[in-house]
């Protein structure tokens, strides 16, 4: 089989839509185009039926009841509705009072779609604890327990990290929160559709998921809102037609929702075999790269990680040059472009990875259509590029000669 270049190894950023999903969506653009809110004619009823089917498909994927699914535009919106909506509902003091409105616990390596709503709440009088993980990147029940206060109202921690794939102790943290009567939200964008999920045995109250991270369309997602034990209530952020139990007003994105439902059903059916296949490919990719190259480091916990993702730092190369030398592979680097400069990833920094290694790291995330041939190509390409770049590095030469370059006293200019 001939390789098609460039190849896609950035499935943690977004996934292609499964053709079966597209097919399921098509009739809802032109034929069954009704507004599910039109309760008095057949066009509306047909659309409502389609939305209801999708609601059941998404609920089944996470072990929820269909009434507990709120459709949104994606995980960013789901996180905002969950975090701000719960904070405003369960606050201890009204807006504008001098007292702390409530204490929230999160992590410092969360996605911006969690960190920024938390920062907003801080400005409004809530207090937020940003837990720091150990070098393995994992948040445990013990860490949350250590940060609890009398006035803690909400804990929000992601299920699996989008940069390093590490898996947090969600069921245990959820159990702790339930014991203490604290609402527990998890951003499960990278987890759902890939790993078995049951909101009841996993003790989750609020859960965010997104279509385009699980082979569905972009611009559609869902928020799970627990209805029993406890019945979670939220202050809505958007007001209007009162759709989605009043939590998310606005005419439903029927085509997107149908696509999300289809994606959920396919993911549930294929999850076990897909996980196994991708783990083998990831092990081959990661194993060969770290075997053929010295001075590399896999970031995050060695086992407690998503099976399709790896994040590797390469000593003595510059991340941007490495990306340039591997232009045929679409992947992410450990640097984030801000307006003027390259900033090392705050997630890697949060684990204690130094700036140099953070800059020289790559995130490769495999997906439903990744082939063995692509993995072999990526191994060859990355190993060759790193070797070439290191040949040009005097620091690497010194390292090979056994000089500890961290101990060198550089001469001042
Ligand atoms: C992609 C992602 C988001 C944002 O999801 P959208 O649906 O694109 O808004 C939030 N959290 C995590 C962990 C993600 O990976």
CA–CA distance, 76 with 185 (Å, rounded to integer): 13
Q: What is the pTM of this model?
A: 0.96
User: Between 3.90.1150.10, 3.40.50.620, 2.40.50.140, 1.10.1740.10, what CATH number should domain 7-12+271-403 receive?
Assistant: 3.90.1150.10
Dist. CA 387 → ligand 1 center (Å): 34
CA–CA distance, 167 with 157 (Å, rounded to integer): 10
Name the class of domain 19-266. alpha beta
CA–CA distance, 32 with 257 (Å, rounded to integer): 13
Tens of pLDDT along 308-365?
999 999 999 988 899 999 999 999 988 776 556 778 899 999 999 998 899 999 999 9
> Of how many residues is the chain composed?
413
User: Which residue puts its alpha carbon closest to atom 3 of ligand 1?
Assistant: 75
By CB atoms closer than 10 A (0-12, 13-18, 19+), residue 340 is: exposed
Judged by average pLDDT, the poorest of 85-89, 121-125, 333-337, 358-362 is 333-337
Higher local confidence (pLDDT), 355 or 177:
177
From 25, 42, 58, select the one nearest 255 (Cα to Cα): 25
Phi-psi category of residue 215: left, alpha or beta, with phi > 0 → left and psi -120 to 50 → alpha: left
What DSSP state is assigned to residue 314? Answer: E
Question: Which backbone phi and psi does 401 adopt, to 5 degrees?
Answer: -80, 0
**What are the residue boundaries of the structural domains of the chain, listed by start?**
7-12+271-403, 19-266
CA–CA distance, 181 with 161 (Å, rounded to integer): 26
The set of catalytic residues is 337
Count Cβ atoms below 10 Å from residue 410 Cβ, excluding itself: 6
Judged by average pLDDT, the poorest of 268-277, 285-294, 397-406 is 397-406
CA–CA distance, 365 with 64 (Å, rounded to integer): 28
Dist. CA 204 → ligand 1 center (Å): 18
Pocket test for ligand 1, best of 160, 210, 260, 306 (most atoms within 8 A of CB): 210
Dist. CA 252 → ligand 1 center (Å): 20
Strand 342-344 relative to strand 335-337, pairing? antiparallel
* Ligand 1, atom nearest to 76 Cα: 9
Pocket test for ligand 1, best of 187, 216, 260 (most atoms within 8 A of CB): 187
Find the residues whose C-beta lies inside 6 A of ligand 1: 74-76, 111, 113, 158, 162, 187, 189-190, 210, 213, 221
Dist. CA 77 → ligand 1 center (Å): 9
From 3, 70, 26, 51, select the one nearest 245 (Cα to Cα): 70
With bands split at pLDDT 50, 70 and 90, how would you rate the model's confidence at 378? very high
User: Which residue puts its alpha carbon closest to atom 2 of ligand 1?
Assistant: 189
Q: Quick check: 405 pLDDT over 80? A: no
Q: Which pLDDT score, from 0 to 100, does residue 147 have?
A: 98
How confident is the model over 20-34, as a mean pLDDT?
98
């Amino acid at each position: 089989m001939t390789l098609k270049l460039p190849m896609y190894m950035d499935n943690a950023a977004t996934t292609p839509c499964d053709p079966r999903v597209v097919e399921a969506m098509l009739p809802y653009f032109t034929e069954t185009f009704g507004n599910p809110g039109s309760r008095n004619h057949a066009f509306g009823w047909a659309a409502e039926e389609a939305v209801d089917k999708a609601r059941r498909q998404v609920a089944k994927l996470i072990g929820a009841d269909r009434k507990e699914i709120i459709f949104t535009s994606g995980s960013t919106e789901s996180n905002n509705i969950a975090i701000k909506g719960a904070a405003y509902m369960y606050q201890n003091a009204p807006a504008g009072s001098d007292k702390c409105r409530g204490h929230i616990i999160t992590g410092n390596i969360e996605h911006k779609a969690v960190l920024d709503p938390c920062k907003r709440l801080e400005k409004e009088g809530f207090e937020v604890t940003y837990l720091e993980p150990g070098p393995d990147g994992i948040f445990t029940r013990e860490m949350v327990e250590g940060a609890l206060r009398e006035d803690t109202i909400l804990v929000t921690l992601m299920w699996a990290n989008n940069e390093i794939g590490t898996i947090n102790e969600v069921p245990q943290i959820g159990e702790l929160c339930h014991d203490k009567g604290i609402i527990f939200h998890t951003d499960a964008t990278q987890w759902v559709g890939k790993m078995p999920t049951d909101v009841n045995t996993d003790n989750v109250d609020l859960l965010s998921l997104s279509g385009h991270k699980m082979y569905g369309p972009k611009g559609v997602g869902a928020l799970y809102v627990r209805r029993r034990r406890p019945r979670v209530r939220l202050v809505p952020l958007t007001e209007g037609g009162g759709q989605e139990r009043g939590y998310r007003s606005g005419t439903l994105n029927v085509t997107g929702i149908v696509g999300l439902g289809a994606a959920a059903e396919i993911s549930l059916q294929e999850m076990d075999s897909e996980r196994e296949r991708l783990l083998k490919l990831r092990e081959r990719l990661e194993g060969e790269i770290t075997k053929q190259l010295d001075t590399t480091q896999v970031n995050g916990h060695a086992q407690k990680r998503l099976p399709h993702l790896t994040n590797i730092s390469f000593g003595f190369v510059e991340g941007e040059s490495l990306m340039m030398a591997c232009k045929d592979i679409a992947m992410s680097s450990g640097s984030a472009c801000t307006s003027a400069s390259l900033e090392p990833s705050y997630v890697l920094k949060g684990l204690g990875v130094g700036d140099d290694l953070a800059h020289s790291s790559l995130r490769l995330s495999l997906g439903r259509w990744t082939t063995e041939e692509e993995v072999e190509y990526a191994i060859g390409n990355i190993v060759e590029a790193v070797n070439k770049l290191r040949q040009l590095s005097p620091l690497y030469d010194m390292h090979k000669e056994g000089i500890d370059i961290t101990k060198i006293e550089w001469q001042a200019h």
